[in-house]
Structure 1
């Protein structure tokens, strides 16, 4: 599609082999279809931290991000990525390493989290292991000091584990407040991402990088539309409305209608 722009950032969560319990998780065999689509259509996977130097990136660059750090990502995403010679970035909630995602409301196989050994293996294979805070709080309710403590502690835990710098952050639930950005910068991060959809670069602030959410029923066709329109809602109804609006705007401009 001629109007595809890059780089673009996608947001995944769990990749279970069975039916996902969350609308934000995607079945592993469907994720494999996404990888085949991206490869067939000449997308180059990059790491989230690579966005710090966007002008040096190849055309059709894409960042695959995984929030939280679910254990099923190892078999369902990491190994398939290796097979396709592709890479991705994982935002890890450090209090839950080797445990369960407490915020999901129930404990199940799909709430299990990656352990330290798996994270080290993924890092060694070229994946980016980044920060999703310690406890996965709603940052919009926290003070500057509370947020700084979450950001700083998670960064140190991951850096001690990996023996490597951690410079990328994702805000849990996509929520943040006026204190979040300075707290993240002062904790030593270079980039942070939200859950707001849109193109990379549509926000000038490196601590407000936009991402496109992937949902459990997103086929390769839906993925293609999300890449083309940089939006979470790419229903045909919305696309038709979008183009109808553009045509009407052009007609109005042509005849001088305000």
Structure 2
């Protein structure tokens, strides 16, 4: 089902100037084009916390989220957003602040992470800062106590940096279990982002907010289809099958 009048959350990672070394990062020039597309087509930029508030938002609201906390986000995402009066949400892996992404080898320009000063500046400029754990583990493979430690310590570290409550979280690798959901609540988070695609709906579980992934090769036309279908896979083959099924349904006589 398509829609142009709903809220949607997009998931980004790195925004390097050079060609990305991972399929989850988007080259800075493509990100700039996507921003221009969103702005030109009347999308309202909101933070996750804005979506969850009881007040009504403009139709077609979009939230840009950035996982991990890559250093290239500062110049290539944060600054363009600020210059255009736009807001976004960042999820920071605290053990890597000012260092490199420890799950990416070997260290390179694209594995550099944001510094504490940069995170503080982004927060002061109106960006939303959330947690992405301390060490970026697969939480579903850890015992409850270790999960709670990852969630609690990262929250405290970020609150010490931004000097305000950190209420949001994103699951590393999108993985979690029932213990994780309990640990998120026990650590004091009010909401959390998953990697399941779909529209944002206020009535859904706030600990399982859906997001649509932006991949390295996504042009503005691909983004347009993702905004229309709220799905990670918007290949032309899949869309052709979708419309063919709709046509068959429409032409099938009703009993």
Alpha carbons 1:226, 1:234 under 8 Å: kept: yes
1:119: which partner in 2?
Answer: 119
Report the more deviating stretch, 35-44 or 240-249.
240-249
Q: Is residue 67 of structure 2 the alignment partner of residue 67 of structure 1?
A: yes
1:201: which partner in 2?
Answer: 201
Q: Is residue 16 of structure 2 the alignment partner of residue 6 of structure 1?
A: no
Structure 1 residue 51: Cα displacement: 2.4
Structure 1 residue 249: Cα displacement: 2.7
Structure 1 residue 203: Cα displacement: 7.2
After superposition, the C-alpha distances for 1:67-122 in whole angstroms (9 at most, x for unaligned) are: 00000001110111112111111000000000000111321110000000100110
Q: d(CA) in 2 for partners of 1:93 and 1:6?
A: 30
Decide whether aligned partners of structure 1 residues 202 and 225 sit closer, same or farther in structure 2, where only a CA change above 3 A counts: farther
1:53: which partner in 2?
Answer: 53
Q: d(CA) in 2 for partners of 1:163 and 1:212?
A: 30
1:106: which partner in 2?
Answer: 106
After superposition, the C-alpha distances for 1:143-183 in whole angstroms (9 at most, x for unaligned) are: 22111111111111101111101011000000111111111
1:154: which partner in 2?
Answer: 154
Report the more deviating stretch, 194-203 or 59-68.
194-203
Look up the SS of the partner of 1:67 in the other structure.
strand
Q: Is residue 254 of structure 2 the alignment partner of residue 255 of structure 1?
A: yes
Question: What CA RMSD, in Å, does the superposition of the two structures yield over aligned residues?
Answer: 1.6
Alpha carbons 2:52, 2:202 under 8 Å: kept: no
Q: d(CA) in 2 for partners of 1:241 and 1:104?
A: 37
Decide whether aligned partners of structure 1 residues 203 and 24 sit closer, same or farther in structure 2, where only a CA change above 3 A counts: farther
Alpha carbons 2:51, 2:202 under 8 Å: kept: no
- TM-score by structure 1 length? 0.95
Q: d(CA) in 2 for partners of 1:203 and 1:68?
A: 27
Look up the SS of the partner of 2:18 in the other structure.
coil
Structure 1 residue 142: Cα displacement: 1.1
Aligned residues: 255
4+ runs deviating over 6 angstroms: none
Q: Is residue 86 of structure 2 the alignment partner of residue 86 of structure 1?
A: yes
Structure 1: runs of 5 or more not aligned: none
After superposition, the C-alpha distances for 1:127-146 in whole angstroms (9 at most, x for unaligned) are: 01110001100011012211
Q: Is residue 186 of structure 2 the alignment partner of residue 181 of structure 1?
A: no
Q: d(CA) in 1 for partners of 2:251 and 2:192?
A: 40
2:235: which partner in 1?
Answer: 235
Decide whether aligned partners of structure 1 residues 55 and 244 sit closer, same or farther in structure 2, where only a CA change above 3 A counts: farther
Alpha carbons 2:170, 2:193 under 8 Å: kept: yes
